[in-house]
Structure 1
Amino acid sequence: MAFDSLSEKLQNVFKNLRSKGRLTEDDVKAALREVKMALLEADVNFRVVKQFTKSVQERAIGQDVMNGLNPGQMVIKIVNEEMTKLMGSETTEIDFKPSNELTIIMMVGLQGAGKTTTTAKIAGKLKSKGKKVLLAACDVYRPAAIEQLKINGEKQGVEVFAMGNKNKPADIAKAAVNHAISNGNNVLIIDTAGRLHIDEEMMDELVEIKNSVDVHRTLLVVDSMTGQDAVNVAGTFDEKVGVDGVILTKLDGDTRGGAALSIRAVTGKPILFVGMGEKLSDLEQFYPDRMTSRILGMGDVLTMIEKAQETIDENKAKELERKMKQNEFDFEMYLESMSQMRKMGGLSSILGMLPGLGMGSKLPDFDSDEAEKNMARIEAIIYSMTPEERRNPKVMNPSRKNRIAKGAGVNISEVNKLIKQFEQMKKMMKQMPGMFGGGKRGKKGLFKGLPF
């Protein structure tokens, strides 16, 4: 996950600060040297790091902090505030033309950044907010680009306007505007061609599209895994074409994440969204304060709640809660709960948003990747059961268990283990109110007994 290494290093620095009763100027300077190195290793722009550490140091060595009751905590608070400021402080959203007038958005970026997929992701988000969206396929060079947009548009329930690959992109854009107006669309998103690197021909084509239609917002899609190059790309696109906002993709990958911390400061352009996976639902609104919280290991509970509200079926959730309360929880509901968890991005995604369990944190004896594999095995076992066996596990005798094990491709001992853990889990759910009440159980106790 992006920022894992940075988070771990920053949290170690903070742990040392908290352990000191009083802080000297040398303590603060030493801590900030470590912060500086961690940011540079995360591929944050050098000038940005220099300004950031200077701002933190000027605030942290003030009398109020040094003579306060908890100076270590105050320094951490300052780092939090300055990092949020670095990424833009306030959330920026796409704005639209008034009175349901057609808003034209042009998507730009290099090939391989995920522009076409991101175009469909944004279309889905805007559709869920009541917009009538039309997508225009103006990438006439990359093989299968038009087909890819059509497939993703269909999945999102959004119409795609295409004229094949024999027409000029500017002409396709003009025809798409006429189609949008005729069909009552209030948002048109133009997917343009990318190249493996920036060239004059690509820039001229984008400028021609902008001159042909009334583009309201130009959004740049950049691959966060390219680090400093992402910042340079943003600067060049803004200079040649003009950019109103940035979307960072692949922030879920094994990247150092420096682009997220540098782009706003270097280019002055806000980050609007971040791509956190390959699924069409894996696009998050960018909140600078929430991203800072995740980087510093303070969690992001608000995003987790919003994800739950977007993905979880309310009626199914109520039924699950009712069955838990009445101790009627069965394997059918167990499958449903795993399905709902997957819709939220899986175990690792959920853990990444919990305070203290986020980026850079490690749960003792808990491997989220292994947990995901175990969940898949559990699903295979449950799918090998009959509906009666799922609803009433007590009917399972040795011959039934043997049949289930063969169907799932596992040893019978795994079937027995799952049934035993399932019964333990049912007992634990009856005591759910006390389960999260703190005490001495800590992180390990929270997950002890769960069958993954």
Structure 2
Amino acid sequence: MFDTLSDRLSGIFTKLRGKGRLTEADIDATAREIRLALLEADVALPVVKAFIHRLKERARGSSVSQALNPAQQVIKIVHEELIHVLGGEARRLNFAKQPPTVIMLAGLQGAGKTTLAGKLARWLKAQGSQPLLVAADLQRPNAVNQLQVVGQRAGVEVYAPEPGNGVGDPIAVAKESIEHARRHMRDIVIVDTAGRLGIDAEMMAQAVGIRDAVDPDEIIFVIDAMVGQDAVATAEAFRDGVGITGVVLSKLDGDARGGAALSVREVTGQPILFASTGEKLEDFDVFHPDRMASRILGMGDVLTLIEQAEAAFDSDQKEKMTAKLLGGEQFTLEDFLEQLAAVRKMGPISNMLSMMPGMGQMKDQLAELDDKHFDRVEAIIRSMTPTERTTPKIINGSRRARIARGSGVTVMDVNQLLNRFENAQKMMKQMGGMMGLPGRRKATKSPKNKRKGTKGGGGGGPRMPGGFPGGGMPQLPPGMDPSAMPGADAFKAPRLDFGKLMRKDKDKDQDK
């Protein structure tokens, strides 16, 4: 969603590189370009004015570190101001002292309230709660049926005493749902209310009636992030009419300019609590302003990537792989297949890679990546026998041809996978050796490889097992300096030369 804004800001920061210090002219020119970039992204004018005012004041003030160059200074200020605009820090839900906690969802028709109700219920259930979904949208055709389907997919009970389609009293349903929750030991009630195509008095009166009947702990406004400035005006209307306490951004994976996401917090004064990033129920998470600001500036979002990995890899699987590494056991294709299945749970590969710092400069390469690479790899491995997966060295030429026919790929694809997997096995063994664990790699006898780590490795250190059939993992374009990526200078980390470490490790073995 923020690709256009990210590209514009990257271009602005690039112009500042090489300058010795920030002059008044540099500050004015940079502020003007950032202002245009924000306006093109459909950010509300009052928000843009306040943002640029704070940017200029800080760039001219004493808060700027003299240790940073002009590009780093501007990146630092813009990053911190984006965090401020997006809310500062993540806020948790307000839970009632005495259950059930009541959460009321409000918003226009088509914003995704019903689907989001299921996502929120599923997320709360994963946190250990027992939520109850309430079908209080009795006017939109099949709204009740839709919530029942969503609730079934989320594994959450749905309270729907009325059929809907214009029949029933939504205020009475919402009020009765509280007693139902108490009787059935549900600690959270999520009320899905009706919306309209636009703001009208009837909808507001109904929303106010439901609010007064259930006395919610949270009134969450669901905003379609693709609508733009109209969404911000609607949020203001609900804030004044019903009194919202938080915002949820839906359809954040769309291709709109993102102005609503950058404007709603500043305009309404209410925090963004959650973000919906896809159509699946699991495409939902807490909104972190600092992480979103880092994504916009092309700095990646490593923390979210780590959290997704922790959720995708269950504890038994992690313990099994750790024990295997510590015990010096061989990493097999069966293990790789399990790891591949866990990675696929994290979502599309392009989305995961986009969270890594610097990947914003490789949008074209990421756009070419899809999960068909994983499909082909999985098909090749599943075409092997259990013995071949454990000991791939026994796969001869005729078997490789048979595996290729069975998986619908070429023999070259099978050869590439097996060669890259052999390199991955060596890397796993080297990792065990660097940690001083059993299974340590023995010194190579050949003089040719004395200073090269592994055969053909050239001392360059371990590489991730890419090169999937049909195209490998993306590489930096020729001539690109990773240190020139947006934000790289301001967030440098010490560089580890793994090739050098392994060469020293190997020399020690030979000396012994």
Question: 1:122 corresponds to which letter in structure 2?
Answer: L
Distance 1:301-1:136 versus aligned 2 partners, 3 A rule: same
Structure 1 position 19 matched with structure 2 position 18: yes
Aligned to 2:221: 220
Deviates more, 1:246-255 or 1:342-351: 342-351
TM superposition score normalised by structure 1: 0.89
In 1, Cα distance between equivalents of 2:259 and 2:60: 26
Distance 1:69-1:271 versus aligned 2 partners, 3 A rule: closer
Contact in 2 for aligned 1:424/1:449 (Cα 8 Å): no
1:118 partner SS: helix
Aligned to 2:501: none
Question: 2:26 corresponds to which letter in structure 1?
Answer: D
> Residues 230-250 of structure 1, C-alpha deviation per residue, up to 9 Å, x if partnerless?
211211222222211110011
Distance 1:199-1:383 versus aligned 2 partners, 3 A rule: farther
Aligned to 1:232: 233
2:128 partner SS: coil
Aligned to 1:355: 357
1:150 to 145, 148, 151: 148
Contact in 1 for aligned 2:226/2:257 (Cα 8 Å): yes
* Structure 1 alignment gaps of length 5 or more: 436-440
Deviates more, 1:420-429 or 1:217-226: 420-429
Structure 1 position 9 matched with structure 2 position 1: no
Contact in 2 for aligned 1:425/1:450 (Cα 8 Å): no
Distance 1:143-1:321 versus aligned 2 partners, 3 A rule: farther
Structure 1 position 257 matched with structure 2 position 255: no
In 1, Cα distance between equivalents of 2:389 and 2:102: 51
Question: 1:186 corresponds to which letter in structure 2?
Answer: D
Aligned pairs (5 A) from 1:1-400: 2-62=1-61, 65=64, 70-98=69-97, 100-163=98-161, 164-165=163-164, 166-323=167-324, 326=328, 328-357=330-359, 360-362=360-362, 366-367=365-366, 369-400=368-399
Question: 2:130 corresponds to which letter in structure 1?
Answer: K
In 2, Cα distance between equivalents of 1:432 and 1:292: 34
2:226 partner SS: helix
In 2, Cα distance between equivalents of 1:64 and 1:101: 46
In 2, Cα distance between equivalents of 1:175 and 1:237: 24
> Residues 181-235 of structure 1, C-alpha deviation per residue, up to 9 Å, x if partnerless?
1112121001122223333332222222223222222111111111212211211
Contact in 2 for aligned 1:139/1:191 (Cα 8 Å): yes
In 2, Cα distance between equivalents of 1:309 and 1:448: 21
Q: Which structure has the larger Rg over C-alpha atoms?
A: 2
Contact in 2 for aligned 1:102/1:181 (Cα 8 Å): yes
Aligned to 1:438: none
Contact in 1 for aligned 2:312/2:343 (Cα 8 Å): no
Equivalent pairs counted in the alignment come to: 439
Contact in 2 for aligned 1:139/1:169 (Cα 8 Å): yes
1:104 partner SS: strand
In 2, Cα distance between equivalents of 1:290 and 1:54: 23
Displacement of 1:380 after TM fit?
2.3
Question: 1:238 corresponds to which letter in structure 2?
Answer: R
> Residues 129-167 of structure 1, C-alpha deviation per residue, up to 9 Å, x if partnerless?
222211111222334432332233233322111122232
In 2, Cα distance between equivalents of 1:178 and 1:190: 13
1:361 partner SS: helix
2:84 partner SS: helix
1:44 partner SS: coil
Deviates more, 1:317-326 or 1:26-35: 317-326
Question: 1:137 corresponds to which letter in structure 2?
Answer: A
1:48 partner SS: helix
Distance 1:170-1:223 versus aligned 2 partners, 3 A rule: same
> Residues 105-134 of structure 1, C-alpha deviation per residue, up to 9 Å, x if partnerless?
111122222211111111122222222211
State the Cα RMSD in Å: 2.5
Question: 1:372 corresponds to which letter in structure 2?
Answer: D
1:22 partner SS: coil
Displacement of 1:180 after TM fit?
0.5
> Residues 247-287 of structure 1, C-alpha deviation per residue, up to 9 Å, x if partnerless?
00111222211111110111111100111222212112111
1:225 partner SS: coil
